[in-house]
Amino acid sequence: MTLVELRDVTVKAGGRTLLEDVNLSLKPGEALRLFGPNGGGKTTLLRLLAGEVAPVLGTRTYVLNGARQTSAVRARRSLSVVGPDAEAFYLTRDWAQSVRDVLLAAFEGDTLKLWEATPEAETRLAEVVSLTGLDDLLERDFRTLSHGQRRRVVLARALMPRPEALLLDEFTDGLSAGARAELARVLQHVYAAGVAIVLATHRPEEAPELPWRTVRVDGGQVREAAAASPPFPASLHLPIPPGTGELIRLQDVEVWRNGHRALGPIGWTWEAGQHWLVTGENGSGKSTLARLIAGELHPALGGHIERPYLTRDLLTERRRTVGLVGAEPGIRQRRDWTGQDIIGSAWHGTEGFVPELSGQEVERVRELAAQLDLLDLLPRPAETLSQGQLRRLLLARAVAHAPTLLMLDEGLDFVDAASRDRFSALLPGLVRGGTHIMVIAHRASDAPDGLTHHLHLDGGRVASVSRLPVALAPE
């Protein structure tokens, strides 16, 4: 018996073929791992299994609760793709939804809690919260959570309706080693209970220890294959950037979000000639620090942030001199902006919306796109792109204007190995031109050689500051 069966399935969207002639079966209680390059079709395949997209050719058959059907209605209420898009729904709206609300809504297959929870829903909530360790976050506004905390919540959300399959999209990205270990424990428990697990990942070596069946998804084709993920290129070494003086100075800074202190109080200085590695568990304040430096967040009254490298500390000037890649910038791009709009907006300190580019700017966009293998993405709207394709455009945007500060907040997440290598090759040249780099990373393999200083955060405060004799730091 199969849970989902695809026969000669083709999926198209916007005139493009995303999957073609796919034959695949998912059995109850099976562990299926998907890998392949950005844009290969992994996320589309997950959405196809979940009933979020429909085939234009071929057949898709479900056997849910013992009933065979071709309709995806039941699948859409019990199966959901756990990934960045699940987080984006709540982050891009002004509705205050507590973690409790998010989970209780999912019990009925909805996204918003619009009714009083039944005793059955409350019982299920207690079970899921105990399994995923969310007790301390239940009353928090979802929008105030860290990237890693949000990942745990959307996993718990997917478990609420007792699904027969759990569909995970690049789920280990953005998680600390401790959080990945906790995820592995939860998934092993879920798998032992008979739930099928499908995991799409660029880092197959990080998948929890389960009896995986592995398939490669590339060019819309699906086939059985062995999986591997090469490490960060060992030959890459960042030179010391030129310049003197202080770039960023924090004094008694605190950042509060919806009544929760996300960072501080801290004091810290980023000086010219320094590249920083920033580490800490999920929720320690790393992303908040990066967004504070970029001017997206502001310190509470009594704290001060100074940017001595700027002649005028205006938002437009910050955006023209800072490149920031992370989870939040990616979520904000989900509109009708094209790839060229996304990259070209770097010179104007905007996101997506951009005045008509000059001939020189257009030439630079195309030159950079050619270096990063992005030419085919320039005319495409952001909403048609995979997470990996969008992240690659945001990486290009972050370096197009040769920023003074480049902050990669788990910046290489969702990006395949070949694309990571192409982007990394640009960094030494940028540094020689004056770019200073901050890498926020949970994996030593994502930190290039040449980082000079290490800042470790714990609970929003500075736990330690040290020089790095070499770039690689422990997780």
Segment 6-14 mean pLDDT: 90
Segment 142-149 mean pLDDT: 82
Burial bucket for residue 437 (CB in 10 Å: 0-12, 13-18, 19+): buried
pLDDT tens digits, one per residue of 392-417: 999 999 999 999 999 999 888 888 88
What CA–CA distance (Å, rounded) separates 446 from 137? 29
User: CA torsion sign, 438 to 443 to 446 to 452?
Assistant: positive
Q: What is the DSSP letter of 447?
A: S
Look up residue 63 and give its two tokens.
């056997």
Counted residue by residue, the chain has a size of 475
Average pLDDT taken over every residue of the chain? 87
Q: Provide the b/e sequence for 2-11 (b: ≥16 CB within 10 Å).
A: ebbbbeebeb
- Tell whether the model's pLDDT for residue 198 goes beyond 50: yes
- Tell whether the model's pLDDT for residue 314 goes beyond 90: no
Q: What is the DSSP letter of 117?
A: P
- Please give the pLDDT value at position 232: 46
Most confident of 104-118, 151-165, 214-228: 151-165
What CA–CA distance (Å, rounded) separates 186 from 15? 39
What CA–CA distance (Å, rounded) separates 103 from 98? 9
276: number of Cβ within 10 Å: 22
Asked if residues 371 and 319 have their Cβ atoms less than 8 Å apart, the reply is: no
- Tell whether the model's pLDDT for residue 460 goes beyond 90: yes
- Tell whether the model's pLDDT for residue 324 goes beyond 60: yes
294 three-class SS? helix
Look up residue 414 and give its two tokens.
């969702």
Q: What percent of the chain has pLDDT over 70?
A: 95
Segment 433-439 mean pLDDT: 96
358: number of Cβ within 10 Å: 11
Task: Report which of 292, 322, 319, 295 is spatially closest to residue 404, judged by C-alpha positions.
Answer: 322
Segment 303-323 mean pLDDT: 90
pLDDT tens digits, one per residue of 31-60: 999 988 888 899 899 999 988 889 999 999
Long-range own/partner contacts, residues 376-382 (CB < 8 A, 24 or more apart): 377/339, 378/338, 378/339, 378/340, 378/343, 379/338, 379/339, 379/340, 380/338, 380/339, 381/335, 381/336, 381/337, 381/338, 382/333, 382/334, 382/335, 382/336, 382/337, 382/338, 382/339, 382/342, 382/352
Query: Where exactly does CATH 3.40.50.300 map onto the chain?
Result: 4-224, 246-467
Q: How many CA atoms lie within 13 A of 49 on its CB side?
A: 33
- Please give the pLDDT value at position 335: 66
Backbone angles phi, psi at 277, to 5 degrees: -105, 125
What CA–CA distance (Å, rounded) separates 208 from 171? 11
Task: Report which of 410, 391, 408 is spatially closest to residue 176, judged by C-alpha positions.
Answer: 410
pLDDT band per the 50, 70, 90 thresholds, residue 353: low
Q: What percent of the chain has pLDDT over 90?
A: 51
Look up residue 348 and give its two tokens.
């104007």
Longest CA span, the chain: 70
Q: How many CA atoms lie within 13 A of 437 on its CB side?
A: 32
Given CATH 3.40.50.300, say whether it is the number of domain 246-467: yes
State which amino acid sits at residue 328: E
Q: Output the CA torsion 441→444→446→451 (10° steps).
A: 80
Fold of 4-224: Rossmann fold (3.40.50)
405 three-class SS? strand
Segment 77-83 mean pLDDT: 79
Segment 252-276 mean pLDDT: 93
Q: Tell me how far the alpha carbon of residue 64 is from its chain's centroid.
A: 31
Task: Report which of 158, 138, 165 is spatially closest to residue 149, judged by C-alpha positions.
Answer: 138
What CA–CA distance (Å, rounded) separates 447 from 237? 10
- Tell whether the model's pLDDT for residue 291 goes beyond 90: yes
Backbone angles phi, psi at 467, to 5 degrees: -80, 150
What's the pTM?
0.82
Distance between first and last Cα of the chain: 42
